[in-house]
Amino acid sequence: MLSKSIEKVLNEQIRIEAESSQIYLAMACWAEVKGLEGVAGFMFAQSNEERDHMLKFVKFINERGGHAHISQLKAPNVTYKSFKDMFETLYEHEVLVSESINNLVDISLQEKDYATHNFLQWYVAEQIEEEAMARSILDKINLIGDDKGGLYLFDRDIQQLTITSASTDKG
Protein backbone atom coordinates (compact mmCIF):
# COMPACT_ATOMS: atom_id res chain seq x y z
CA MET A 1 0.00 0.00 0.00
CA LEU A 2 1.30 3.43 -0.97
CA SER A 3 1.45 6.18 1.61
CA LYS A 4 -0.47 9.33 0.68
CA SER A 5 2.78 11.31 0.46
CA ILE A 6 4.39 8.78 -1.93
CA GLU A 7 1.19 8.63 -3.97
CA LYS A 8 1.22 12.43 -4.27
CA VAL A 9 4.81 12.67 -5.52
CA LEU A 10 4.34 9.76 -7.93
CA ASN A 11 1.26 11.49 -9.34
CA GLU A 12 3.37 14.61 -9.80
CA GLN A 13 5.83 12.48 -11.79
CA ILE A 14 2.96 11.35 -14.01
CA ARG A 15 2.45 15.01 -14.93
CA ILE A 16 6.19 15.48 -15.56
CA GLU A 17 6.34 12.43 -17.85
CA ALA A 18 3.19 13.55 -19.70
CA GLU A 19 4.67 17.03 -20.17
CA SER A 20 7.87 15.42 -21.44
CA SER A 21 5.85 13.57 -24.06
CA GLN A 22 4.14 16.82 -25.09
CA ILE A 23 7.44 18.74 -25.22
CA TYR A 24 8.97 16.14 -27.54
CA LEU A 25 5.82 16.00 -29.66
CA ALA A 26 5.99 19.78 -30.12
CA MET A 27 9.69 19.46 -31.01
CA ALA A 28 8.82 16.77 -33.57
CA CYS A 29 6.25 19.07 -35.18
CA TRP A 30 8.74 21.96 -35.30
CA ALA A 31 11.44 19.77 -36.86
CA GLU A 32 9.03 18.26 -39.38
CA VAL A 33 7.91 21.62 -40.76
CA LYS A 34 11.58 22.66 -40.99
CA GLY A 35 12.27 19.67 -43.25
CA LEU A 36 14.28 17.76 -40.65
CA GLU A 37 12.61 14.39 -41.15
CA GLY A 38 15.21 12.44 -39.18
CA VAL A 39 15.03 14.78 -36.19
CA ALA A 40 11.22 14.74 -36.38
CA GLY A 41 11.14 10.94 -36.40
CA PHE A 42 13.53 10.85 -33.45
CA MET A 43 11.34 13.29 -31.51
CA PHE A 44 8.12 11.41 -32.32
CA ALA A 45 9.77 8.25 -30.95
CA GLN A 46 10.95 10.14 -27.83
CA SER A 47 7.42 11.45 -27.29
CA ASN A 48 6.02 7.91 -27.41
CA GLU A 49 8.72 6.69 -25.03
CA GLU A 50 7.87 9.41 -22.49
CA ARG A 51 4.19 8.47 -22.70
CA ASP A 52 5.17 4.87 -21.96
CA HIS A 53 7.14 6.10 -18.94
CA MET A 54 4.03 7.93 -17.74
CA LEU A 55 1.88 4.82 -18.14
CA LYS A 56 4.31 2.76 -16.06
CA PHE A 57 3.77 5.22 -13.20
CA VAL A 58 -0.01 5.07 -13.68
CA LYS A 59 -0.02 1.26 -13.49
CA PHE A 60 2.36 1.19 -10.51
CA ILE A 61 0.30 3.63 -8.45
CA ASN A 62 -2.95 1.81 -9.17
CA GLU A 63 -1.44 -1.64 -8.53
CA ARG A 64 -0.11 -0.48 -5.16
CA GLY A 65 -3.54 0.61 -3.95
CA GLY A 66 -3.22 4.26 -4.86
CA HIS A 67 -5.13 6.27 -7.42
CA ALA A 68 -3.25 7.64 -10.42
CA HIS A 69 -4.37 11.11 -11.45
CA ILE A 70 -4.12 12.69 -14.88
CA SER A 71 -3.72 16.42 -14.52
CA GLN A 72 -3.67 19.49 -16.71
CA LEU A 73 -0.40 20.04 -18.55
CA LYS A 74 1.56 23.19 -19.21
CA ALA A 75 1.63 23.97 -22.94
CA PRO A 76 5.06 23.26 -24.43
CA ASN A 77 7.18 25.69 -26.39
CA VAL A 78 6.40 25.24 -30.10
CA THR A 79 9.20 27.23 -31.74
CA TYR A 80 12.98 27.25 -31.47
CA LYS A 81 15.70 29.55 -32.77
CA SER A 82 17.57 26.56 -34.20
CA PHE A 83 17.75 22.81 -33.97
CA LYS A 84 20.71 23.30 -31.60
CA ASP A 85 18.47 25.41 -29.35
CA MET A 86 15.87 22.63 -29.45
CA PHE A 87 18.38 19.95 -28.42
CA GLU A 88 19.77 22.18 -25.66
CA THR A 89 16.19 22.45 -24.36
CA LEU A 90 15.85 18.67 -24.59
CA TYR A 91 19.04 18.17 -22.55
CA GLU A 92 18.00 20.70 -19.89
CA HIS A 93 14.62 18.99 -19.64
CA GLU A 94 16.22 15.55 -19.18
CA VAL A 95 18.37 16.97 -16.36
CA LEU A 96 15.19 18.25 -14.66
CA VAL A 97 13.52 14.85 -15.04
CA SER A 98 16.61 13.19 -13.52
CA GLU A 99 16.45 15.55 -10.54
CA SER A 100 12.78 14.71 -10.08
CA ILE A 101 13.44 10.95 -10.21
CA ASN A 102 16.32 11.31 -7.75
CA ASN A 103 14.01 13.21 -5.41
CA LEU A 104 11.46 10.38 -5.63
CA VAL A 105 14.17 7.85 -4.77
CA ASP A 106 15.15 9.95 -1.75
CA ILE A 107 11.54 10.19 -0.53
CA SER A 108 10.98 6.45 -1.01
CA LEU A 109 14.05 5.70 1.12
CA GLN A 110 13.02 8.18 3.81
CA GLU A 111 9.64 6.44 4.02
CA LYS A 112 11.19 2.97 3.82
CA ASP A 113 9.01 2.19 0.80
CA TYR A 114 11.35 -0.33 -0.78
CA ALA A 115 8.87 -1.47 -3.43
CA THR A 116 8.70 2.08 -4.80
CA HIS A 117 12.47 2.42 -4.43
CA ASN A 118 12.94 -0.76 -6.47
CA PHE A 119 10.43 0.41 -9.10
CA LEU A 120 12.28 3.72 -9.48
CA GLN A 121 15.64 2.07 -10.20
CA TRP A 122 14.61 1.49 -13.81
CA TYR A 123 13.99 5.23 -14.15
CA VAL A 124 17.35 6.08 -12.57
CA ALA A 125 19.12 3.95 -15.20
CA GLU A 126 16.89 5.30 -17.97
CA GLN A 127 17.73 8.91 -17.07
CA ILE A 128 21.47 8.19 -17.15
CA GLU A 129 20.94 6.90 -20.69
CA GLU A 130 18.69 9.84 -21.71
CA GLU A 131 21.14 12.48 -20.47
CA ALA A 132 24.10 10.74 -22.13
CA MET A 133 22.22 10.52 -25.44
CA ALA A 134 21.27 14.22 -25.29
CA ARG A 135 24.87 15.21 -24.49
CA SER A 136 26.15 13.07 -27.37
CA ILE A 137 23.69 14.71 -29.79
CA LEU A 138 24.75 18.18 -28.61
CA ASP A 139 28.40 17.22 -29.12
CA LYS A 140 27.60 16.25 -32.72
CA ILE A 141 25.66 19.49 -33.28
CA ASN A 142 28.61 21.50 -31.95
CA LEU A 143 30.92 19.69 -34.37
CA ILE A 144 28.62 20.56 -37.28
CA GLY A 145 28.45 24.25 -36.46
CA ASP A 146 26.76 26.12 -39.32
CA ASP A 147 27.62 23.55 -41.99
CA LYS A 148 24.42 22.80 -43.97
CA GLY A 149 25.90 19.59 -45.36
CA GLY A 150 26.69 18.51 -41.82
CA LEU A 151 23.10 19.24 -40.80
CA TYR A 152 21.85 17.07 -43.66
CA LEU A 153 24.08 14.17 -42.57
CA PHE A 154 23.12 14.69 -38.91
CA ASP A 155 19.43 14.51 -39.85
CA ARG A 156 20.06 11.21 -41.67
CA ASP A 157 22.19 9.85 -38.80
CA ILE A 158 19.59 10.62 -36.15
CA GLN A 159 17.00 8.86 -38.32
CA GLN A 160 19.19 5.75 -38.14
CA LEU A 161 19.42 6.18 -34.35
CA THR A 162 15.61 6.21 -34.23
CA ILE A 163 15.36 3.05 -36.34
CA THR A 164 18.02 1.30 -34.26
CA SER A 165 16.49 2.28 -30.92
CA ALA A 166 13.03 1.26 -32.10
CA SER A 167 14.30 -2.18 -33.10
CA THR A 168 16.10 -2.66 -29.78
CA ASP A 169 13.01 -1.64 -27.78
CA LYS A 170 13.95 -1.02 -24.14
CA GLY A 171 10.32 -0.88 -23.01
Distances from the Cα of 73 to the Cαs of 16, 18, 20, in angstroms?
Answer: 9, 8, 10
The answer to whether 66 touches 22, Cβ cutoff 8 Å, is: no
Mark the binding-site residues, compressed into ranges.
Answer: 17, 50, 53, 94, 127
> Reduced to 3 states, what is the DSSP secondary structure of residue 113?
coil
**In 51-102, at which residue ranges do the beta strands (DSSP E only) sit?**
none
Which is nearest to 102 in space by CA: 125, 134, 136?
125
Mark the binding-site residues for Fe cation, compressed into ranges.
Answer: 17, 50, 53, 94, 127
For residue 138, count other CB atoms closer than 10 A to its CB. 15
Which is nearest to 1 in space by CA: 71, 67, 69, 100?
67
CA 59 to CA 68: how far, in whole Å? 8
